[in-house]
C-alpha cells in the first residue's frame, strides 16, 4: 500500500494511504482517552473517526485532555 504524509500537530507524519482518523488515533495509543481532533481546522467528533479517511497534506491537530486539580 502507498504511503502519504500528513501534518500532525505541526510535524510531518507518514501513514498508509486509505487509513482513517481512527487508525491514526489508535497508532498514537490514544483510543479511549479524552481526545479532541481537528482536521484542516474542523473538529471531527469521535463517532466519525472510523469513516474519516486522511489524505496527503491534511493538517491534523490532536489535543489530549489532562485532568488535575
pLDDT value at position 66?
A: 85
Could you read off the pLDDT tens digit of each residue along the chain, which spans 69 residues? 689 999 999 999 999 999 999 999 999 999 999 999 999 999 999 999 999 999 999 999 999 988 776
| Domains of the chain with CATH codes | 3-64 (3.10.20.30)
Sheet holding 35-39, edge to edge: 11-16, 3-8, 59-64, 35-39, 42-43
Under 8 Å CB-to-CB from 31, ≥6 apart: which residues?
A: 22, 25
Q: For residue 63, list its beta bridge partners.
A: 36
Amino acid at each position: 500500500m502507498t504511503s502519504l504524509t500528513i501534518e500532525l500537530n505541526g510535524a510531518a507524519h507518514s501513514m498508509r494511504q486509505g487509513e482513517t482518523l481512527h487508525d491514526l488515533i489508535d497508532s498514537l495509543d490514544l483510543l479511549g482517552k479524552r481526545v479532541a481532533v481537528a482536521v484542516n481546522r474542523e473538529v471531527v467528533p469521535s463517532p466519525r473517526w472510523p469513516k474519516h479517511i486522511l489524505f496527503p497534506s491534511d493538517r491534523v491537530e490532536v489535543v489530549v485532555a489532562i485532568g488535575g486539580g
